[in-house]
Chains A and B, each alone.
Chain A
Amino acid sequence: MTDHDTSASQNIKYPHWQREFEAALLEDDPQKLRQLVDAAEAAIFLRSQALVESPEGHAEQQSISDAIRTLRAIQREKLGYPDWNKK
């Protein structure tokens, strides 16, 4: 368990939000999933605020955009959020 945790944390490139995001990806229970998605979104929002001031955050901002798309898909497909972009 400790070994697993250590190796997982070594793969964390963006510690401000990536742990929360990956926890959401692994959760199946809808109630816990909603909490984890909310936590990931809040962490991403906070981090985005910090990156506004940073000239070197382009790669992380791209990863954040990808993470946001994934969170939106989870909200629609697993949490029953309505699709705002229905055509």
Chain B
Amino acid sequence: MPKKRVLLVDDNTGVRSLLRQLFESEPDFEVSGEAENGRDAVEKAENLKPDVIILDLSMPIMTGLDAAPLLRRLLPDTRIILFTVQEGREVEQLARAAGIHAVVSKNQAASKLILQAQTLLASMEQEHHPTKLRSAS
């Protein structure tokens, strides 16, 4: 089974590096690219066509919330996870309105990010190939 491609979007190189290590330690993911703000993400996503985008909220030039609708339009099948230190219902609502599939807090264990990505991809697989999964189970 091909590895799922991940685009990491965060203005902080240290955080991107930690996320890269995290995803590359998983057998089913590969990091296909990194972007340092929302605009950079939109430009790179078009070429990289990732399966999952890990998107920071607060970034220079373009925030994650502003980038998300553009990314959804560009890549409707790509799953977007907002990975942020900001927590609460307001962020959840804004994220949902922007077309983001899930919000994971940076204060939670980073392994939850992997779990969330796997869950979203599995549900997408089920939407696209319902019979394949049914016969496998």
Q: Which positions in A face B, CB cutoff 8 Å?
A: 38-39, 41-42, 44-46, 48-49, 51-53, 61, 64, 68, 72, 75, 79-85
Contact = CB atoms under 8 A, between A and B. Distances in A.
Given A61-B107, A84-B57, A45 B62 contact: no
Contacts, number: 58
A82 B106 contact: no
Contact of A81 (B14, B15, B58, B108): B58
B75 interface: no
A79 B14 contact: no
Q: Interface SS of chain B: helix, strand, loop or mixed?
A: loop
Contacts of A48: 106-107
Interface of B: 11-15, 18, 57-66, 85-86, 90, 94, 106-110
Interface-centre pick from B14, B61, B109 (highest chain A CB count, 10 A): B14
B60 A45 contact: no
Contact of A75 (B14, B58, B62): B58
Q: Top 5 A-B pairs ranked by shortest CB distance?
A: A42-B14, A84-B63, A52-B109, A48-B107, A68-B85
B15 A45 contact: yes
B15 A42 contact: yes
A39 B14 contact: yes
B13 A38 contact: yes
Contacts of A41: 12, 14-15
Nearest to B60: A81
A38 B14 contact: yes
B51 to A, nearest CB: 24
